[in-house]
A and B are shown apart, each in its own frame.
Chain A
């Protein structure tokens, strides 16, 4: 039973355009969400987080949006750069307990 889903396994975007990565969850108790970026054969790198008391959090080129009623969050990268090409995982937890990870979306930013 996958509680966090990333339904798009891959996404291709032109350099300079916006990348939008989506994540859906089923557990209404989730109150903290993270996005990680992962290169092959490396551990995930923390990107940005959001708690359920907010609906938006911004950090430089990265913005995470949370829609609690739809149980949906998204990561926007603007402008996209070739170095952003990686696999992006979303993760969710309830009350600081263990995180549940999505299956990842592979982003390819074309020069």
Chain B
């Protein structure tokens, strides 16, 4: 079946522009995660949704970052007034269950590469 999809795959923004990144999780998946991956580093957690509820946003680096999942399926990560340090790959992952360390497998999308000039 279809995996996690993300769009756009590549985004170039001028500093100060707002961007919106979309994630389509696997159908029926309850949990959705956003991660940020800088060049040469491992992904870093940004935020977590269980259905439409944003249960953890501790990783969002500033109030310029905002995420939503209004109907419990598609999610959008919005970055306002982009800065050069926002350049990274933004990964979305979903899992079929409420997040659990013993049973949860996260399925990742291919990511959106954001370049801020």
Do A and B interact with each other, yes or no? no
Q: Tell me the B residues contacting A by CB distance below 8 Å.
A: none
Q: Tell me the A residues contacting B by CB distance below 8 Å.
A: none
